[in-house]
Amino acid sequence: MDEAGRTTAIIAYLTIIGSIIAITMNMEPKNAFARFHIRQAFGLNLTFHAFALLSSVAYNQYALYGLYLCYILFWIYAFAGALNLKQKSLPLVGPYFQKWFTFIQ
């Protein structure tokens, strides 16, 4: 796990645009550490936006508070892992993100 993989992993957590940029950054050379965190970040951002869209249709203020709280806690957990060069999956959903987003190489 080198500095290039760490930089790419950190960029992946900076919004959904950061995830897309990180995907292109990891095209050549491929880095397994960066790929792990790109999948985690992409899944986290995609899930957040999907739930935000659903909750905007059926507006519930408390559901939005819960959504943002979960997102922030998961983001801090995952971002700290990228900073510390650790490959720890997000609780509950992390293994699914690794399985579902295998197209991210």
Cα–Cα distance for residue pair 9/38, rounded to 1 Å: 6
Q: What is the DSSP letter of 5?
A: H
Q: Write down the pTM of the prediction.
A: 0.86
Residues of the chain with pLDDT under 70: 1-2
Cα–Cα distance for residue pair 94/59, rounded to 1 Å: 27
pLDDT at 42: 92
DSSP string, 18-75: HHHHHHHHTSSS--HHHHHHHHHHHHHHHHHHHHHHHHHHT--HHHHHHHHHHHHHHH
pLDDT at 65: 87
The label of the residue with tokens 């700290």 reads 80
Q: Are 38 and 26 in contact (CB under 8 A)?
A: yes
